[in-house]
Amino acid sequence: MTITGRVRKFVAAVTFGSIASVFAIASAQATEEIIFAVSAEHGSLQANTAAEFTRIANERLGDKAIVKLFDSAQLGKDKELMQRLKLGTVQITLPSSTMPTIADKFALFDLPFLVKDRDQLAKIEESVFWPTIAPQAEKSGYKVLALWENGFRQITNNERPINVPSDLDGIKLRTPQSEWRVAMFSNYGANPTPMAFSEVFVGLQTGVIDGQENPLTNIEAAKLNEVQKYLTMSGHIYSPSYPTMALSVYNDMDPEIRDVLVAAAREAGLWSRNAGAKADKDILDELNAAGMEVNTANRTAFVEASKPIYAKFATDIDGGQALVDAALATAE
């Protein structure tokens, strides 16, 4: 073979290799990235459920798409993340107590002592949440994929054990950005202070707030036991979280990818309840052993003090009384 022939063969090989590389790069770039950003702390039930969802989804998506998870508010707090859904810079996020600011019927889950256990929660999900509450989010441009567990919320503080509502008098208690949570604790006599969860540890450490209320999994993950003395098992609210997309992004997504995400989200929701039930006992033992003083609140006294919140919900929310009646009927 002449030198010219060898050169031509070399150039052809290089050209073919370059084209192959280009196609390989293009193929890699064609894999759709789905950014899943949550504000929950790494190690919390919400973050762990998000990780389980990500695992399931990526196993089933193959080379069609890849879900990338960012927890611990790496990409922003709840309000920012809901805005990023609309901007398209985040595809999925996980709001919880902030959802009533998007669609007011979600405030059903801000009613104290509505959910007594996870079996009842499953009935509320089937008969109330999917038919009546979830569709309201679509009117605001959001699509809820599933209902996950945040958990039964308990009270911690540095002042005293909380047995009855009057024990909360004057306590600066952090709440989420929820008008219903603020109204509830104001009614109990506390001084509710809305604050992003990422700011709670420092707030407690510096005395800006005296206490807070969260599921045990969040209390442990954020190491709030290091800056809190008293833990009151009140179970005053069952707080769900909601893997959510912008409705426009959901509608425009490849149906095969979308179906995988929905199925994985529903499966992860069941996983979260099982994990939450186990964690409740294990974490309580750990927090007690770590030195927190644990007591159980007087449920009867708190239920009686909660009646004005139910009355407000029935008055302020369109169809509110019917929602309450339907949810309470699942306990029968």
203 located within any domain = yes
The answer to whether 113 touches 306, Cβ cutoff 8 Å, is: yes
d(CA 162, CA 64): 52
* CB atoms closer than 10 angstroms to residue 74: 11
46 located within any domain = yes
pLDDT confidence of residue 30 = 55
14 located within any domain = no
pLDDT tens digits, one per residue of 39-89: 999 999 999 999 999 999 999 999 999 999 999 999 999 999 999 999 999
5 located within any domain = no
Which domain CATH number covers 129?
A: 3.40.190.170
Q: How many domains does the chain have?
A: 1
Domain that holds residue 145: 31-326
Q: Most distant CA pair in the chain: distance in Å?
A: 98
> In a 10 Å sphere around its CB, with 0-12 CB exposed, 13-18 middle and 19+ buried, how is residue 314 labelled?
middle
Residues 6+ apart with CB under 8 A from 95: 78, 81, 82, 102, 241, 242, 244
114 located within any domain = yes
13 located within any domain = no
SS3 295: strand
Tell me the mean pLDDT in the region 243-255: 98
145 token code pair: 């994929």
Q: For the packed helices 320-329 and 307-316, what is the interaxial angle rounded to 10 degrees?
A: 130
15 located within any domain = no
d(CA 20, CA 14): 10
22 located within any domain = no
Dihedrals φ, ψ of 235, to 5°?
Answer: 55, 35
pLDDT tens digits, one per residue of 189-247: 999 999 999 899 999 999 999 999 999 999 999 999 999 999 999 999 999 999 999 99
Task: State the amino acid at position 71 in one-letter form.
Answer: D
